[in-house]
Amino acid sequence: MALLRIIKPGLLTTIQDRGRFHYQKWGVPVAGAMDEYALRVGNILVGNHENEGALEITLFGPEIEFLAPGLVAITGADLGARLNDLDCALWRSFRVRKGDILQFTGLRSGCRAYLAVAGGFKIPEIMGSKSTYLRGSIGGMDGRALREGDELENEIQVNNINLTVREAPPAYRYKPANSQVVRVILGPQHDAFTQEGIMTFLDSEYKVAPESDRMGCRLDGPAIRHKNGADIISDGIAMGSIQVPGNGKPIIMLADRQTTGGYAKIATVITPDLWKIAQAKPGDSLRFTKVTLEQAHKIYRQYENNIRILAAKFNGANGTRPE
Amino acid sequence: MYERAKYLPAGDQGLVVEFGNDISPELNNKVRSFAFALDCTGIPGLAEYIPTYRSILVIYDPMVWKFESLVTRLRELEGSLASMKLPQPRIYHIPVVYGGEFGPDLPFVCRYTGLTEEEVVEIHTTTKYLIYMLGFTPGFPYLGGMDDKIAAPRLDTPRTSIPAGSVGIAGRQTGIYPVESPGGWRIIGCTPIKLFQPFNKRPVLFNAGDYIRFFEVTPGEYRRIARAVEKGEYPVKVEDYIGGVG
């Protein structure tokens, strides 16, 4: 029996888990949640494995009817979620009953929200992942965004009575803002840029361009100068790589990025700051500040440990422990 | 090729092992050896890697590895490459129907090069192309070795949609589009072989380091092969490439 039905699909609602790994050597993009932090926390709040698929909801969200009782959580952007016309708390799981209507009534802050459901979604894994890769038409719901009338079932039937409502402590809830400072590690090709070009990159404010999508966040702002042109011999692209084509305008490569590319990469966004990019919408501004790799690893370990602590806090007895 | 590889950070989870800064079969073979060594060694805390023309991007878990320790471990691996026995590269024989509706740009390539259609096809099917790397779209092979005689510039305005299987020329490169996508290459033919089958256990046909050789088929043979491919009953002819870079 289906858990929910899509009444209106919203602008772009897809199923995403953490991504499709191990196939990049064959040119298959990772896809996956743009904001892996919000996805993982959402899954923890409903007692799922952190890698379970959830709905990634972009800017203008869907209208959803629940066809069975369940426990759900919304994390990430504040897109005005209301259940039966009452505001929903974010970063906190809540129960839904058969016949409840969840609507996203309008953008308040951020860009992408995640709806995780206890028991996950019954979606076939393709190359080990439920993530939707739109350009390749694979994963998720037949390789496409959700449409009116789509119904989704639980992967695992959960006894909702035993599931407790969980709330992420305040320190775990970020606040998307219209302007963010993003930490980066320089390289791997910062040598391809003039000293002045690197200073331009680190000292300027960049605005998110409207052509941004799941593949890349395109930025408008002062052009970054190369020493001898933008082209390199095509090589691998990591999540958060910032490539600079000939026009000098940086592009942050994201979930649906191609695996390889031929533009010089000036820097890479650190993993714990990727949510800031995922939550930046067209018109928002970003500034970049550099950290050393050593600092970045310290920040990364803190970030990862915090998520583990949150999971451990709730999963003491497989999520069935009363609070 | 560098004396010793460069180890460059690509963010907090990526490490680029760069062996040089040019495109050559010897350098690419070093990349292939390193990738093969990674496969054989099974170093813990490595998620995956992307081998390319002259470097390899390794994705690692920073909860397991410090950058310097990983570099030390990978330098050891680099040091052992000389004694590495690589499997023989293989040649995939790929059927292509040239010209007509399957290769709308073949007349352009003829005009541009001054060759006849038969001559272009003859040259295109004579060469063994090294698969330097896979990227761009799932299963797209970056091929090396095309004869300059059939080189032709890209379209001024890329087509919005090129069918899967299209075989094209762009400058001195040739390649096959694995999935329908936009593109500016001059399309000279089409293969019924599927390069990307996401539901297969092995979703991508080619491996970097192997070779492709094209052979000409008629439109009738194309349709027969296409039907067999649909049923999973067309085995692509593959043989060891004795004398390849191995």
Cβ contact (<8 Å) for B10 and A188? yes
Which residue of A lies nearest to B62 if distances are taken between CA atoms? A297
R_g of chain A computed on alpha carbons: 20
Instruction: Please say if the pLDDT value at position A314 is more than 80.
Output: yes
Nearest CA distance, B72 vs chain A (angstrom): 16
The total of other beta-carbon atoms located within 10 Å of residue A263's CB is: 23
Mean pLDDT over B204-226 rounds to 96
How far is residue B232 CA from its own chain's centroid?
Answer: 22
B140-197 pLDDT per residue, tens: 999 999 999 999 998 888 888 899 999 999 988 899 999 888 888 999 999 999 999 9
Q: Starting at the edge strand that comes first in sequence, how are the strands of the sheet with A81-83 ordered?
A: A86-87, A81-83, A101-104, A63-66, A2-8, A151-153
Tell me how many degrees the CA angle A200-A201-A203 measures, rounded to the nearest 5. Answer: 65
Which residue of B lies nearest to A256 if distances are taken between CA atoms? B137
Phi/psi of residue B7, nearest 5 degrees? -115, 110
Map residue A94 onto helix, strand or coil: strand
Nearest CA distance, A68 vs chain B (angstrom): 31
Distance CA A140, CA A35 (A): 17
Phi/psi of residue B186, nearest 5 degrees? -80, 115
The predicted pLDDT at position B158 comes to 83
Mean pLDDT over B74-99 rounds to 92
Nearest CA distance, A36 vs chain B (angstrom): 14
**ipTM of predicted complex:** 0.95
Q: Are B66 and A298 in contact (CB under 8 A)?
A: no
The predicted pLDDT at position B84 comes to 80
Instruction: Please say if the pLDDT value at position B244 is more than 70.
Output: no
Instruction: Please say if the pLDDT value at position A161 is more than 70.
Output: no
Give alpha helix (H) positions in A134-222: 195-203
Longest Cα–Cα distance in chain A: 64
Extended strands (E) in B26-140: 46-51, 55-60, 90-98, 129-134
- Residues in B touching A185 (Cβ below 8 Å): 9, 11-12
Sign of CA dihedral B69, A23, A252, A41: negative
Rounded percentage of chain B residues whose pLDDT exceeds 70: 98
The total of other beta-carbon atoms located within 10 Å of residue A159's CB is: 9
- Residues in A touching B62 (Cβ below 8 Å): 297, 300-301, 304
Q: Are B129 and B144 in contact (CB under 8 A)?
A: yes
Mutate to test the interface with B, among A260, A298, A302 (most CBs of B within 10 A): A260
Instruction: Please say if the pLDDT value at position A318 is more than 60.
Output: no
Distance CA B2, CA A305 (A): 39
What is the set of domains in chain A, with CATH numbers? 2-173 (no CATH), 179-291 (2.40.100.10)
The closest CB to that of B63, out of A188, A261, A301, belongs to A301
Instruction: Please say if the pLDDT value at position B222 is more than 60.
Output: yes
Nearest CA distance, B114 vs chain A (angstrom): 31
Nearest CA distance, B118 vs chain A (angstrom): 33
Distance CA A3, CA A96 (A): 10
Question: Which residues, at least 6 apart from B233, have a Cβ–Cβ distance to it below 8 Å?
Answer: none
Give alpha helix (H) positions in A88-224: 195-203
Question: Which residues, at least 6 apart from B112, have a Cβ–Cβ distance to it below 8 Å?
Answer: B152, B153
Q: Which amino acid is at A70?
A: G
Query: Would strands A216-220 and A251-253 be described as parallel, antiparallel, or unpaired?
Result: antiparallel
Cβ contact (<8 Å) for A233 and B204? no
Residue with tokens 């970003």, as numbered in its chain: A286
Cβ contact (<8 Å) for B52 and A235? yes
Instruction: Please say if the pLDDT value at position A42 is more than 70.
Output: yes
Enumerate the β-bridge partners of residue A289: A183
Query: Among A58-62, A76-80, B22-26, which stretch is predicted with the lowest mean pLDDT?
Result: B22-26
The predicted pLDDT at position B241 comes to 86
Instruction: Please say if the pLDDT value at position A287 is more than 60.
Output: yes
Q: Which amino acid is at A162?
A: N
Cβ contact (<8 Å) for A27 and B204? yes
What is the set of domains in chain B, with CATH numbers? 6-83 (3.30.1360.40), 90-240 (2.40.100.10)
Q: Of B211, B106, B133, B34, which is closest to residue A237 (Cα–Cα)?
A: B133
The predicted pLDDT at position A38 comes to 98
Q: Are A117 and A70 in contact (CB under 8 A)?
A: yes
B99-141 pLDDT per residue, tens: 999 999 999 999 999 999 999 999 999 999 999 999 988 999 9
The predicted pLDDT at position B83 comes to 81
Mean pLDDT over B86-96 rounds to 93
How far is residue B145 CA from its own chain's centroid?
Answer: 12
Whether the CB of A29 is below 8 Å from some CB of chain B: the reply is: yes
Q: Report chain A's terminal Cα–Cα distance, integer Å.
A: 30
Whether the CB of A307 is below 8 Å from some CB of chain B: the reply is: no
The closest CB to that of A187, out of B10, B66, B135, belongs to B10
Residue A184: both structure tokens together: 């980066």
Cβ contact (<8 Å) for A297 and B62? yes
Cβ contact (<8 Å) for A236 and B56? yes
Residue B154: both structure tokens together: 């890209």
The predicted pLDDT at position A163 comes to 77
Residue window 94-113, chain A: list those with CB within 8 Å of chain B. none
Q: Are A74 and A314 in contact (CB under 8 A)?
A: no
The total of other beta-carbon atoms located within 10 Å of residue A164's CB is: 13
Cβ contact (<8 Å) for B204 and A187? no
Query: Among A99-103, A311-315, B129-133, B235-239, which stretch is predicted with the lowest mean pLDDT?
Result: A311-315
Which residue of B lies nearest to A259 if distances are taken between CA atoms? B135
Instruction: Please say if the pLDDT value at position B243 is more than 80.
Output: no
Residue A211: both structure tokens together: 């052509």
A232-280 pLDDT per residue, tens: 999 999 999 999 999 999 999 999 999 999 899 999 999 999 999 999 9
Cβ contact (<8 Å) for A29 and B138? yes
Q: Are A238 and B13 in contact (CB under 8 A)?
A: yes
The predicted pLDDT at position A321 comes to 38
Whether the CB of A224 is below 8 Å from some CB of chain B: the reply is: no
Q: pLDDT band at B245, cuts 50/70/90?
A: low
Whether the CB of A240 is below 8 Å from some CB of chain B: the reply is: yes
Distance CA A208, CA A131 (A): 25
Q: Are B67 and B11 in contact (CB under 8 A)?
A: no
Enumerate the β-bridge partners of residue A185: A268
Question: Which residues, at least 6 apart from A308, have a Cβ–Cβ distance to it below 8 Å?
Answer: none
Q: Of B238, B47, B79, B107, which is closest to residue A238 (Cα–Cα)?
A: B47
Distance CA A274, CA B12 (A): 12
A102-152 pLDDT per residue, tens: 999 999 999 999 999 999 999 999 999 999 999 889 999 999 999 999 999
The predicted pLDDT at position B87 comes to 85
Q: Are A96 and A102 in contact (CB under 8 A)?
A: yes
Mean pLDDT over A13-24 rounds to 97
Distance CA A164, CA A93 (A): 8
